[in-house]
Structure 1
Amino acid sequence: MSLVAAYVVPHPPLAVPEVGRGSESGIAATLAGYREVARRIEEIAPETILIVSPHSAYYADWIYLGAGDGAAGSLSQFGASEVSFALQYDEAFRDALAACADAAGLPAGCVSERARELDHGVLVPLYYLEQRYPSENYRAVSIGGSGVAREELLAFGRCMAKTAADLDRKAVLLVSGDLSHKLKADGPYGFDPAAPRFDEAFAAVVESGDPAGFADLDPSMCEDAAECGLSGFIMLAGALGEAQAGGAAFSSELLSYEGPFGVGYGVAAFEPTGEKQAAANGEETARGVADASDADHLVALARATVEQYVRTKSVPTAPTLPSSLPERAACFVSIHTASTGELRGCIGTIEPVQPTLADEVIENAVSASTRDPRFPAIAPCELDDLSISVDVLFPPEPATVADLDERRYGVIVTQGFKRGLLLPDLEGVDTVEEQIRIACMKAGIDPRGGFDRIDIERFEVVRHE
């Protein structure tokens, strides 16, 4: 194996509810991004996770590797001593990485035992990772940010990928770093026009698919923006460049970005294109199954809404969705108990009623989790065992029974003021006639008088799950 994926996450302590005490709701998109990264890492199941944090031991002329057999830490300095984690280090990987760096003439290695306590740059991402992929499942290598030359950061990143390949490790790189710190005049660090430019440049590099662009960002702009993650981003570029030189191909995706408190928070994913393409090719496009990137945004938003509303009775601010998604559309949010597959709530709209698709998802996620009359409201203790999907509806069109396909099309039945809908491709619904009968039952229409007395419409959906 080798380096199989890399992720960028921020590290605001308030992202941890025990620290934020409600203020974390102001960065709902970031929290959804954390959860999505944790979900993806759980799917990958790496043996080793390389964690870069600018708040570990940071040297202007040295790249620090966490010493010893492991480290632990808590968020006690932020008033949450109960939030604590420990990591066991992959000593063989760390020592081989140090040897690779030494052979390349790079200033890197373990120089002391000082940094035995995990910093918040590691602890905040661990808070979300532990919920999906506990540290008992992997070993870690702790790496500090560094002020060494960009060429050396790139070369050190290449050593990361080389070491993973040489040791045949299934490894993931997790870079913890906030973006600019001067986005708002009333923020903790004031405003500098370089700050939004830096964040825009970060997003542009991610969306370009070429992380090598991190090493080309204007140094003056970076300094004026007061960023704190760039050295790790450049290491990432070197690591992925080395993996690509070995034949791997990666796609990049900006999962979220926001800066409501004056500091930029970005979540990004760099993953193999081959696996994504294989997953996409495994579904029939006629069935309307969403691609992974779009699904991540809508399902993550629905999940963040359910979790926030169930816990706090508040909802996240509607984010700006990718241009590949419709600006406005009807949708259904379906919630199942993950362990049993049982339906737990499903609410949606036949036509859009909210100003944006994001608003539509938020409203329907709240309704599906707490207002479906068939079920009691979801309780906080259920949140870890939920499977959520979002169906985005295309506009309906008149149809006859012959025009229907229970796998491809949903159906709307109308008789007078009674109207019912059934989504397509549902388990246990194997014929068009059965689909129509169930839709009629939901509407309170008696289908025994014949389908010719019922107005029928069909619609297609894009299913995000």
Structure 2
Amino acid sequence: MWRWAIFVPHPPIIIPEVGRGEEAAAAKTIEGMKEIAKRLKDELPDSLIILTPHHAMGRGLHVICANQFKGDMGVFRARNCRLEVDGDPELASSLAEYMESKGLPVSRSKGRLVELDHASFVPLYYLNKTWGTLPKVVIANPLGLDYEESYALGKFLRQFDANDKNLGIIFSGDLSHRLIPSAPAGYHPRAKDFDAAVVRAFETSNAEELLSLPEDEIERAGECGLRSALAFLGMAEGEPISVLSYEGPFGVGYCTAIWMPTKAAKGGSSGVESHPYVRLARLSVEHYLKTKQVLDPSQAFSLSPQVDLWSKRRGCFVSIKRLDGSLRGCIGTISPVRENLASEIIYNALAAAFEDPRFMPLSEEELTGVRFSVDVLSDLELVASVDELDPKVYGVVVEKGLRKGVLLPDLEGVDTVEYQLEIAAQKAGISSLKGAKIYRFTVERYEEVEKDL
């Protein structure tokens, strides 16, 4: 079962033993790497797959079947910075065979002791600092795949069955290498557009823009991470990706991002699988039903210690639906009104359960028959034209005078911009859109999902 996937850059300079103080220029990237490590503190997998553009390359996806990997940062003036990790040749062979069965071109190499490339070493360095150990590793290079095949690789990875092993995967890749005149691959004034497209793709969990990039735009960027990025997006299958950082301090674009599955994996046990945001929403309601008290923040922290719950402020909506999909309650905030996202979720969950005027308060007997979801909102963006709207991608806020109506994106039956605006206006008692302001926003949606038997 897949536990998580991360997209990370691989500049050796962000390792302190290499940077020797110069790593401070990449502070955002280092914080992103540390944030990933914190989120994965209790998520040590049985085996770890690394997709890197800098190891041995062959036809199609090149899979390295090794008993052990070993490397150091000697070429970057830090020979004493070393890593050794066991390989998982059985998993490597299974992965190669599975991808071949799906029609992807695959090549392989074997070895007892194989050198770690720097694009694998850098993320392993940060994970090793957190875990104190490393799981068995499989390394593969996607550079022999075209872009469509790279995206398909991600989708096939999502389906890959590792015989009840818990798996994690690292998609290693730097973005444009031509962001500034002193960049290592030269400079192009539009190289930054490529990086912006990748970040947008992650934020929307949608690969369409990247798959339609002209070849000359890709060439202008001088990238090494597009295939890894496309595979990362294919694996997420449209589920929310959290972008933790982006910067280009040395003329090379560095992005850190993480995906943790919200959909149940095949072969899972019965019950409900949920993201920490959704667990917090449910726990808040359960706690109130039992104690008639709001869940104390200190208790909430012990249940959901994810750093971003406590460090960021975002508006959010909590929805409660019956098992047949019908709504049982939905309340939220367009902009944050609490001190952090954790408190925002707690209070909006209680409001959705007990204060939605369309429904009676939720009872304890109903808990097993409802499912929670949490939508975390982006900042509002004023639109100049309805052409900028898409009901599947953007939620809307219609504002006129003191009245304000909101509708979340990607709702069943809401297929046109006109109908989306009509519903949002009706909710606020706005009879005409003339003179109204229209805002759009995106959401990161987290849902409770039934696990397959």
**Structure 1 residues 324, 195: CA separation in 2 closer, same or farther (over 3 Å shift)?**
farther
Distance of aligned partners of 1:330 and 1:6 in 2 relative to their CA distance in 1, 3 Å threshold: closer
- The 1-side partners of 2:310 and 2:216 are apart by 35
What amino acid is aligned across from residue 128 of structure 1 in structure 2?
Answer: Y
Counterpart selection for 1:259 from 248, 256, 262: 248
User: What is the CA–CA distance in structure 2 between the aligned matches of 1:275 and 1:171, rounded to whole Å?
Assistant: 17
C-alpha distance in 2, partners of 1:214/1:280?
34
The counterpart of 2:182, out of the listed 177, 182, 186, is 186
Q: Give CA-to-partner distance per residue, 1:135-158, whole Å, 9 cap, x none.
A: 44x211111131422232233333
What displacement does 1:71 show?
1.1
CA distance in 1, matches of 2:140, 2:54: 10
Cα offset, 1:204, TM superposition: 0.5
Kindly tell me: are residues 222 and 42 of structure 1, through their superposed partners in 2, closer, same or farther at Cα, counting changes over 3 Å? same
Matches within 5 A, 1:270-419: 270-273=259-262, 274-281=274-281, 282-283=283-284, 294-295=308-309
Tell me if structure 2 keeps the 8 A contact 1:147–1:231. no
The 3-state SS of whatever aligns with 1:69 is strand
* Structure 2: distance between partners of 1:219 and 1:114: 39
2:3 is aligned to 4
Which AA in structure 2 matches 1:53? T
**1:67-119: CA deviation from partner (whole Å, max 9, x where unpaired):** 22121111111111111111212222211111112222322131354992101
Pairwise CA distance, 1:296: 6.9
Q: Partner of 2:157 in structure 1?
A: 160
Tell me the equivalent position of 1:460.
none
Alignment partners' CA distance in 2, 1:102 and 1:325: 48
Indicate which of 246, 266, 269 corresponds to 2:258: 269
Whole-angstrom CA distance in 1 between matches of 2:307 and 2:204: 15
Q: Tell me: CA distance 1:219–1:42, structure 2 relative to 1, closer, same or farther (3 Å).
A: farther
Q: CA deviation at 1:28?
A: 1.0
1:96: which partner in 2?
94
Pairs within 5 Å for 1:82-121: 82-113=80-111, 116-121=114-119
1:48 correspondence with 2:78: no
Q: Would you say the 8 A contact 2:9–2:254 is kept in 1? A: yes
> 1 CA distance for matches of 2:255 and 2:113?
26
- Judging changes above 3 Å, is the alpha-carbon distance between structure 1 residues 206 and 15 closer, same or farther for their aligned structure 2 residues? same
Q: Distance in 2 between matches of 1:115 and 1:232?
A: 25
Q: CA deviation at 1:65?
A: 1.1
Matched AA of 1:92: E
Q: Hey, what does 1:130 align to over in structure 2?
A: 128
Question: Once structures 1 and 2 are overlaid, which stretch shifts more, 273-282 or 64-73?
Answer: 273-282
Q: State the percentage of identical aligned residues.
A: 31
Gaps of at least 5 residues in structure 2 are: 263-273, 286-293, 314-333, 341-453
Counterpart residue number, 2:403: none
Secondary structure of the structure 1 residue equivalent to 2:240: strand
| Structure 2 residue matching 1:146: 3-state secondary structure | strand
CA gap of 1:296–1:55, structure 2 versus 1, over 3 A, is: farther
Give the conservation status (yes or no) of the 8 Å contact 1:183–1:263: yes
Equivalent residue letter for 1:158: K
Amino acid at match of 1:141: V
Contact 2:67-2:112 at 8 Å conserved across structures = no
Runs of at least 5 residues in structure 1 that lack an aligned partner in the other structure: 245-249, 300-322, 332-465
Which residue pairs with 2:19 in the alignment? 20
The normalised TM-score by structure 1 is 0.58
Q: Assess if the C-alpha contact under 8 Å between 2:62 and 2:144 holds in 1.
A: no
Structure 1 distance, partners of 2:116, 2:310, is: 30
Instruction: Measure how far apart 1:209 and its partner are.
Output: 2.6
SS at match of 1:66: strand
Name the counterpart of 1:74: 72
CA RMSD, aligned part only? 3.0
Find the partner of 2:205 among 203, 209, 220: 209
Instruction: Report if aligned partners of 1:66, 1:115 keep a CA contact under 8 Å in 2.
Output: no
Maintained 8 Å contact 1:4/1:172? yes
- Aligned residues, how many? 295
Note if 1:219 corresponds to 2:215.
yes
**Distance in 2 (alpha carbons) for counterparts of 1:184 and 1:221:** 16
TM-score (norm 2): 0.59
Aligned to 2:359: none
Report the Cα distance in structure 2 between the residues aligned to 1:115 and 1:184, rounded to whole angstroms: 39
Number of the residue aligned with 1:38: 37
